[in-house]
Amino acid sequence: MTDTHFDASSPTPSGESRPNESRIDRERAVALSPAVSSPMLEIVDETASTNTDLMQRMKAMPRERAVAGVHVVRAAYRQTAGRGRQGRSWQAQPGHALMFSVGCIVPRPLSGLAGLSLAVGAALVERLRALPGLAAGDAARIGLKWPNDVLLDGGKLAGILVETAWSTSSATAAVIGVGINVRSDPALDAELAAAAAALPEQARPTPPAALSQILPDADLTLTLAAALAGLSAMVDTFSSQGFAGFRARWSACHAYAGREVVLLENGEPFARGRALGVDDAGQLLLETADGIRAIATGDVSLRLAPSTP
């Protein structure tokens, strides 16, 4: 698959140009996220998984000469084997969702990466809330569900998958995969809703949400630029401070703060309590009848607790 370059604008009747919402304008995206140079940004029409592509790339990188920071970004309009946490698939129609991965070197051993995926979530929410044209009240509707789902009005706006290609005593090669629903897709939403309805209630995934619900002119280019600017800065901060530098920022985006939640493992509930926040390792602090319990991420899912009569 070769990179594809686009003129992401189309003429209007007046002769002016306007952004093509369903394509990525490479030059504009790079100009708005200066930490990512044009050679670092790859855009392809289709691939199996941008995370898989970059995992292979990062594994081949010479470890002894690895330089900290973002090395490559790969975006695709269509993924035939896109995936999220716990092996779930990521479904999206080309032009409606932004799907990309970032290959980076974090100058920390594997043991120093606790909370990295939560830091990614906090950085994304902050940048999405700051998108031009987004009213403050609408921006506040974007939040985080532990550990790292980005929500809009309770629906899933974005998903995150962090994988590590290798680690030494001083550095780790990581691939950060991100999927953001930019434009609503009623047909896919209806398909997903029908599939979810056939599942037991506690096994149903969070329904999708799209950025265009609060920002009608949302486009792939501006969303990608905002995300890349946030992730580049996040890698720098996390490298020096770890998740401790993001704990307060994550809590400021916590959509379920103070609410009663249920924790599921393999689809079965194992804990219930009031979500308080997270600790310096990114573990959820859950207030239960037996006291405060710290929950590690792992293969755990969180749901709002059903209301009791």
Q: In 3-state terms, what secondary structure has residue 215?
A: coil
For the ranges 10-24, 51-65, 95-109, 111-125, the lowest mean pLDDT is seen at 10-24
Instruction: Compute the mean pLDDT over every residue in the chain, rounded to the nearest whole number.
Output: 88
Topology of the domain comprising 9-252: BirA Bifunctional Protein; domain 2 (3.30.930)
CATH of 260-304, one of 3.20.20.20, 3.40.50.2300, 2.30.30.100, 3.30.930.10: 2.30.30.100
The more confident residue out of 11 and 222 is 222
pLDDT at residue 151 is higher than 90: yes
Angstrom distance (rounded) from CA 203 to CA 267: 6
**Better-scored residue on pLDDT, 184 or 250:** 250
The pLDDT, as a whole number, for residue 1 is 34
User: Residue 201 is which amino acid?
Assistant: E
Q: Which residue has the higher pLDDT, 20 or 289?
A: 289
253-282 average pLDDT score? 94
Going from N- to C-terminal start, the domains of the chain cover: 9-252, 260-304
CA separation (Å) from 265 to 199, 261, 269, 304, 308? 16, 13, 6, 15, 22
d(CA 209, CA 186): 10
* Per-residue model confidence (pLDDT) at position 89: 56
Q: What is the pLDDT at residue 128?
A: 98
Report the pLDDT averaged over residues 270-289: 95
In angstroms, the Cα distances linking 11 to 7, 14, 19, 20, 77 are: 11, 8, 9, 10, 22
Can you name the residues that pair with 267 across neighbouring β-strands?
Answer: none
Identify the band that residue 211 occupies on the pLDDT scale cut at 50, 70 and 90: very high
Within this chain, domains 9-252 and 260-304 share the same CATH topology: no
Predicted local distance difference test score (pLDDT) of residue 191: 73
Pairing between β-strand 155-167 and β-strand 17-19 as defined by DSSP bridges: unpaired
Mean pLDDT score, 188-212: 73
Task: Count the Cβ atoms, other than its own, within 10 Å of residue 10.
Answer: 11
DSSP letter for 267, please.
T
* CA–CA dist 46, 66 (Å, integer): 29
